[in-house]
C-alpha cells in the first residue's frame, strides 16, 4: 500500500538536496519533478487538515423530481454573487491547490524514490519533535530553577526575619538589664545616703552628750 504522508510534515531544502543527490543515478528532469511533487504533496497534506474541506470536483446535485435542473435566472444580483464566488474560493482557499497536492502525492507514491523521500520527511519530523522535546525540557528546567530560587529567597527572608527578631529580643533584654542595674545603683545610693545621715546623727548625738557631761563636771557646786 502507498505510504501516506503525515499532515504535519513540512518540506524543506533537504528534500531538494536529497532528490538532487538521487538524480546522479537518473535523469535530472526526474529528480526535479520529484522534488516539486514532494513539495506539492506536503502542501496537500497540510491543506487536508483545514476545518472546511473543499473538494476538487464540482458539487453534484441530484434532482429526483426533475429531469433537468432549473436554469438560473439572469439577474444582476445573481451575476454579482457568482462573480464573487468565482473570485473567492470556497473555504478561504483555492480547491485546485488541494487537487494539485493530491496529484503530487499520487505521483510520489508511484515514484521509485517514494520510500526515500518519505524516509527523509520522517527523519525531519523526528528531528523537529526532538527539538520540541528539547525546548520543553529546557523550559521545564528553567521553571524548576525559578522555583528553587524562589524557595531559597523565601528561606533567606525567613532567616533574616528570625535573626532580626532575635536581635530585637536581645536588645530588649540588654535594655531591661541596664535599667535593672541603674535601679539597683540608685537604691544603693539612697541607702548609702540614709546610712550616712544616721551615722552623722549618731555622731552629733554623741558629741552633744559629751558636751553635756563636760559642762556638768566643770561646775560641781551648781550640781550640789
pLDDT tens digits, one per residue of 115-136: 888 888 899 999 999 999 999 9
Q: Does the CA dihedral 132-134-137-143 come out positive or negative?
A: negative
Q: What gap in Å lies between CA 44 and CA 100, rounded to an integer?
A: 7
Compute the 3-state secondary structure of the chain and give helix, strand, coil in percent, each to the nearest 5: 75, 0, 25
More confident residue, 74 or 110: 110
Q: What is the pLDDT of residue 102?
A: 83
pLDDT digits (tens, 9 = 90+) for 141-180: 999 999 999 999 999 999 999 999 999 999 999 999 999 9
pLDDT digits (tens, 9 = 90+) for 178-221: 999 999 999 999 999 999 999 999 999 988 888 888 877 666 55
pLDDT digits (tens, 9 = 90+) for 78-121: 555 554 544 455 556 678 888 888 887 787 777 777 788 888 88
SS3 assignment for 162-183:
HHHHHHHHHHHHHHHHHHHHHH
Per DSSP, the three-state class of 157 is helix
C-alpha cell at 174: 540588654
Q: What is the pLDDT of residue 40?
A: 55
Q: What is the pLDDT of residue 209?
A: 87
Q: What gap in Å lies between CA 135 and CA 156, rounded to an integer?
A: 31
Q: What is the pLDDT of residue 106?
A: 81
Q: What gap in Å lies between CA 21 and CA 14, rounded to an integer?
A: 10
Could you count the other beta carbons within 10 Å of the beta carbon of residue 41? 27
Q: Are 34 and 108 in contact (CB under 8 A)?
A: yes
Place of cell 536529497: 18
Q: How far is CA 181 from the centre of its chain?
A: 59
Q: How confident is the model at residue 13 (pLDDT cuts 50, 70, 90)?
A: very low
Q: What is the pLDDT of residue 20?
A: 44
Q: How far is CA 211 from the centre of its chain?
A: 103
pLDDT digits (tens, 9 = 90+) for 18-41: 444 444 444 444 445 555 555 555
Q: Are 76 and 40 in contact (CB under 8 A)?
A: no
Amino acid at each position: 500500500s502507498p505510504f501516506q504522508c503525515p499532515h504535519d510534515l513540512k518540506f524543506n531544502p533537504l528534500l531538494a538536496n536529497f532528490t538532487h543527490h538521487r538524480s546522479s543515478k537518473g535523469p535530472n528532469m526526474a529528480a526535479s519533478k520529484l522534488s516539486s511533487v514532494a513539495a506539492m504533496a506536503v502542501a496537500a497534506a497540510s491543506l487536508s487538515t483545514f476545518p472546511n474541506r473543499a473538494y476538487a470536483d464540482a458539487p453534484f446535485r441530484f434532482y429526483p423530481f426533475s429531469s433537468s435542473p432549473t436554469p438560473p435566472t439572469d439577474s444582476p444580483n445573481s451575476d454579482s454573487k457568482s462573480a464573487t464566488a468565482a473570485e473567492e474560493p470556497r473555504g478561504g482557499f483555492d480547491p485546485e491547490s488541494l487537487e494539485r497536492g493530491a496529484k503530487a502525492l499520487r505521483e510520489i507514491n508511484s515514484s521509485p524514490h517514494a520510500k526515500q523521500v518519505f524516509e527523509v520527511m520522517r527523519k525531519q519530523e523526528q528531528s523537529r519533535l526532538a527539538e520540541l522535546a528539547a525546548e520543553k525540557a529546557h523550559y521545564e528546567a528553567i521553571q524548576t530553577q525559578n522555583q528553587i530560587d524562589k524557595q531559597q529567597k523565601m528561606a533567606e527572608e525567613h532567616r533574616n526575619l528570625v535573626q532580626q527578631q532575635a536581635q530585637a529580643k536581645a536588645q530588649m533584654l540588654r535594655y531591661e538589664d541596664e535599667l535593672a542595674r541603674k535601679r539597683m545603683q540608685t537604691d544603693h545610693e539612697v541607702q548609702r545616703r540614709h546610712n550616712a545621715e544616721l551615722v552623722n546623727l549618731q555622731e552629733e548625738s554623741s558629741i552633744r552628750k559629751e558636751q553635756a557631761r563636760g559642762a556638768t563636771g566643770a561646775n560641781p557646786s551648781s550640781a550640789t
